[in-house]
Amino acid sequence: MSYSKTFLEHIEEPRNVGELQPPAVVVEVVNSACGDRIRLSVLVEEGKISSVKMRAFGCAPTLAAASVLTEVVKGYSLDEANVFTTEDLVKVLGVLPRGKKHAADLAVEALHTALSKLIV
Amino acid sequence: MELLNNKKRIYFDNSATTAVASEVVEAMGPYFTDFFGNASSVHSFGQQAKAAMDKARRQVAALIGAEFNEIVFLSGGTEANNLAIRGITQAYQDKGRHIITSQFEHPAVLNTCASLEKQGWQVTYLPVYENGIVRLEDVKAAMTDQTLLVTLMHANNEIGTIQPIAEIAKFIKEDIRPKRKNIFLHTDAVQTVGKVSLDVKSLGVDMLSISAHKLHAPKGIGALYIRKGVRIASQQTGGHQERDRRAGTENIPAIVAFGCAAELARKNIDTYTRQVEPLRDYLEQQIAKNIPDLVFNGDHNYRLPNIANISFKYVDGEALLIALDLKGVAVSTGAACASGSTEQSHVLVALGLEKDVVRGSLRFSLSRYNTREEVDYLLEVLPAVVEKLRRISPLYQERLKQESLKSQIA
Ligand SMILES: Cc1ncc(COP(=O)(O)O)c(C=O)c1O
């Protein structure tokens, strides 16, 4: 197993665990194939993501992806957040084992789902 | 692992493989450099190799109460299971074409049976129930006049439950064999040998598989016990080694190591009841005391002394495994998630456990080298690791919410 240092640090000490209250939006996305789930809270103030929290259930890559995501996107403008991709997240997470990219997909899906709720 | 800047590394995965005992390493060394002969050679080098192999064969035979010529050396548990199942079905194929096995065998048995099914054999996969034990009455009910082979593991590798092999052997001997002499009983005892004293004659089996790397010898060596008088068809063509049952130049250093480990295991067998079992029980009791929402998997009475299989609800076993590895503790899990679908342990699924219980399962498997200090270290780090993963888990949050709702209503 060759997880990156960043990945392992986030498993040891997951960041931004928890949930935000309204007006933050809270979404939960589930990978129907394996049951992994991420609950993401996003607060936007003055066009920027000012606070992000997460909870996650699933294999280590899912937990690490959710944790890393919260650190990376904090401070992003909505435009930046909207174009954020799985590949961007994997760059920070480090290489994932074969068959584990879905963990990063799920985290990015959570972000975009939250953003779509904001805009309406 | 990189983050493991610390010193401590503890191994609780002895069902996967074991450390080679230092005595064993020492015993095999000279057979690489000084006594490297081919056991089939006539000169003194060959004769030394042959003598060493004979000694090892006696040591392995003594461990299971077999006779010298009833031990066939081969490459390990997988090959032993293949040779037993393929060898017997091929040798007696005109005597019946039905096999009885169970749903929670090792893949070396399950996949071999599946491949025979493709060749027209009938296979019955017996249920193992929630306690992980096959029932004699199911064996009786599955028996037909076509049944040639019953192959059931002695102890399961994930939950450690021990199967009623002696009772099944007695039934076959008393009720079936008088009518049909060509019915055979094979047991995969890879997890048992060296941990529970076992005697092939009182067990009453015709064939028994052993893997050396589970008892502190190297990987790639093992044995199949074949009761005198039972014929098997060799599965590879070649020389006359192992009395025509397994062709190929014998791996003398590994065989010597296996013999040495077998003798050590025989001498130390009571450490499993005296030391390992109490340590395993202590581990379980302390975990039960300090961590809520657990499920203990497998029968509590009929099982190996060294395995504990525990499900930690609301967390994923693989995440738990990695978090524990970061603390220097190696265990294994029945949940492995790949390509976005969770591949669950066929053993835990066969027990009929709920998906979530399977998902949170961890196996702790000890050896005679584990210490109380090591278990105490585990007990020190595990509750916090589980708690941390539960705190992140949305499933656990939901459970907490429901609990507090319930207490408000009450
Ligand atoms: C019950 C059981 N049977 C067979 C095997 C296979 O043995 P080997 O690794 O020597 O091929 C194992 C080891 O994983 C096992 O646990």
pLDDT tens-place string over residues B27-69: 999 999 999 999 999 999 999 999 999 999 999 999 999 999 9
Are B337 and A17 a contacting pair at CB < 8 A? no
A11 close contact with B: CB closer than 8 A: yes
Looking at B221, B249, B265, the residue that finishes a domain is B265
CATH of the domain at B146: 3.40.640.10
Mean pLDDT of B360-385: 97
Q: What is the DSSP letter of A40?
A: E
Any ligand 1 atom below 6 A from CB of B78: yes
Distance B127 CA to ligand 1 centre (A): 21
CA atoms within 13 A on the CB side of A91: 6
Q: State ipTM.
A: 0.90
Any ligand 1 atom below 6 A from CB of B105: no
Please tell me the predicted confidence (pLDDT) of residue B340: 52
| Same domain flag for B258 and B312 | no
Of A9, A57, A60, the CB nearest to B393: A57
| Same domain flag for B14 and B152 | no
Nearest CA to ligand 1 atom 5: B77
Any ligand 1 atom below 6 A from CB of B188: yes
Give tens-digit pLDDT for B151-184.
999 999 999 999 999 999 999 999 999 999 999 9
Catalytic residue among B62, B91, B233, B337: B337
CATH of the domain at B304: 3.90.1150.10
Are A55 and B393 a contacting pair at CB < 8 A? yes
Of B339, B342, B391, the CB nearest to A35: B342
| Same domain flag for B124 and B81 | yes
| Same domain flag for B368 and B255 | no
For ligand 1, mutation pick of B73, B157, B163, B306 (most atoms within 8 Å of CB): B157
Query: What is the extent of the structural domain holding B347?
Result: 4-19+269-409
| Same domain flag for B8 and B106 | no
Any ligand 1 atom below 6 A from CB of B191: yes
Verify whether residue B337 is a known catalytic residue.
yes
Are B389 and A55 a contacting pair at CB < 8 A? no
Nearest CA to ligand 1 atom 14: B16
Q: Calculate how close chain B gets to A76, using CA atoms only, in Å.
A: 24
Q: Which two structure tokens, joined as six digits, stand for B321?
A: 């495994």
Give tens-digit pLDDT for B226-255.
999 999 999 999 999 999 999 999 999 999
Q: Is the pLDDT of residue B2 over 50?
A: no
Please give the number of the atom of ligand 1 that sits closest to the Cα of B16.
Answer: 14
Any ligand 1 atom below 6 A from CB of B306: no
Distance B305 CA to ligand 1 centre (A): 18
Please tell me the predicted confidence (pLDDT) of residue B7: 63
Are A12 and B339 a contacting pair at CB < 8 A? no
CA separation for the pair A10, B63 (Å, rounded): 48
| Residues with pLDDT less than 70, chain A | 1, 119-120
| Same domain flag for B286 and B359 | yes
Q: What is the DSSP letter of A17?
A: B
CA separation for the pair B339, B355 (Å, rounded): 18
Any ligand 1 atom below 6 A from CB of B106: yes
pTM of the model: 0.93
Domain total of chain B: 2
Three-state DSSP string of chain B: CCCCCCCCCEECECCCCCCCCHHHHHHHCHHHHCCCCCCCCCCHHHHHHHHHHHHHHHHHHHHHCCCHHHEEEECCHHHHHHHHHHHHHHHCHHHCCEEEEECCCCHHHHHHHHHHHHCCCEEEEECCCCCCCCCHHHHHHHCCCCEEEEECCCECCCCCEECCHHHHHHHHHHHHCCCCCCCEEEEECCCCECCECCCHHHHCCCEEEEEHHHHCCCCCCEEEEECCCCCCCCCCCCCCHHHHCCCCCCCHHHHHHHHHHHHHHHHCHHHHHHHHHHHHHHHHHHHHHHCCCEEECCCCCCECCCEEEEEECCCCHHHHHHHHHHCCEECEECEEEECCEEEECHHHHHCCCCHHHHHCEEEEECCCCCCHHHHHHHHHHHHHHHHHHHHHCHHHHHHHHHHHHHHHHC
CA angle B375, B380, B383 (to 5 degrees): 110
Are B315 and A56 a contacting pair at CB < 8 A? no
Mean pLDDT of B117-144: 97
Interface probe for B, chosen from A15, A19, A32, A63 (most Cβ of B below 10 Å), is A63
Any ligand 1 atom below 6 A from CB of B77: yes
| Same domain flag for B147 and B39 | yes
| Same domain flag for B50 and B177 | yes
Please tell me the predicted confidence (pLDDT) of residue A87: 93
Q: What is the mean pLDDT of chain B?
A: 94
Mean pLDDT of B115-130: 97
Mean pLDDT of B333-342: 64
Sign of CA dihedral B301, B302, B306, B312: negative
| Same domain flag for B125 and B235 | yes
| B33 contact partners, CB below 8 Å, separation of at least 6 | none
Contact between residue B101 and residue B143 where contact means Cβ atoms under 8 Å apart: no
Q: Calculate how close chain B gets to A20, using CA atoms only, in Å.
A: 13
Please tell me the predicted confidence (pLDDT) of residue B3: 43
Q: Calculate how close chain A gets to B351, using CA atoms only, in Å.
A: 20
- Domains recognised in chain A with CATH numbers: 5-119 (3.90.1010.10)
Nearest CA to ligand 1 atom 4: B77
Please give the number of the atom of ligand 1 that sits closest to the Cα of B77.
Answer: 7
Of B2, B316, B326, the CB nearest to A58: B316
| Same domain flag for B68 and B184 | yes
Are A60 and B393 a contacting pair at CB < 8 A? no
For A66, the enclosing helix (H) or strand (E) is helix A60-73
CA separation for the pair A69, A105 (Å, rounded): 11
Q: Which two structure tokens, joined as six digits, stand for B112?
A: 């071999």
Please give the number of the atom of ligand 1 that sits closest to the Cα of B79.
Answer: 11
Looking at B210, B241, B265, the residue that finishes a domain is B265
Residues in chain A, overall count: 120
pLDDT band for B342, please (50, 70, 90 cuts).
low
| Same domain flag for B234 and B297 | no
Pairing relation of β-strands B341-344 and B10-11? Answer: unpaired
A34 close contact with B: CB closer than 8 A: yes
Of A5, A31, A54, the CB nearest to B340: A31
Are B3 and A39 a contacting pair at CB < 8 A? no
| Same domain flag for B245 and B306 | no
Give tens-digit pLDDT for B60-102.
999 999 999 999 999 999 999 999 999 999 999 999 999 999 9
Looking at B243, B265, B287, the residue that finishes a domain is B265
Please tell me the predicted confidence (pLDDT) of residue B50: 97
Contact between residue B150 and residue B100 where contact means Cβ atoms under 8 Å apart: yes
